[in-house]
Amino acid sequence: MVCDVLALLAGQGVQCDLFGGWAEELLGLRDPGPHADIDLVYRGDDFAAIDDTICRLSLHEIPEKRFSHKRAIVHRGILCEFLLVRDWNHAPVTVFWGDVTFRWCVPLLQDGTITLNDQPVSLVSDVNLAHYRAQWRSTQPHRWRDPASLLGE
């Protein structure tokens, strides 16, 4: 399924990089197991190319996950989430919720590609996967600073 989504996007001129649990598994950072979704990084200034592709191919977008930093679709029953990374060559950054800046380490991507089902796949670097996992809560201030959400009230 990962290759199917990446090939679909690449066929429309949209290059994405594998992120999250799938990338961790392929880099040996976690044991193989089931995955609830496919996380992808999109390197660009905005989501114009992703939005055009979603519209042109009539993909099933999840409007509840449409933010300045994120897009999501369901493709063949699998949730696929896209995270926007700007200025990826020099100082990669994602701005969550319009005001929470997450700075990625340089380089953003793992050196080279891996081959998955005879298709080259680029991955977010192991350093950045660990960095994101360690800092994830800091990107979610609306959830983690509300005492009611912490206490289940």
Q: Model confidence over 48-89: pLDDT tens digits?
A: 999 999 999 999 999 999 999 999 999 999 999 999 999 988
The pTM of this model reads: 0.87
Show the domains of the chain with their CATH numbers: 2-151 (3.30.460.40)
With 60 as the cut, is the pLDDT of residue 110 above it? Answer: yes
**What letter would DSSP give residue 123?**
B
Ramachandran region, residue 112 (left: φ > 0; alpha: ψ -120 to 50; beta: rest):
left
**What letter would DSSP give residue 44?**
S
- Residue 52's CB is within 10 A of a number of other CB atoms, namely 13
Q: Model confidence over 24-51: pLDDT tens digits?
A: 999 999 999 999 999 999 999 999 999 9
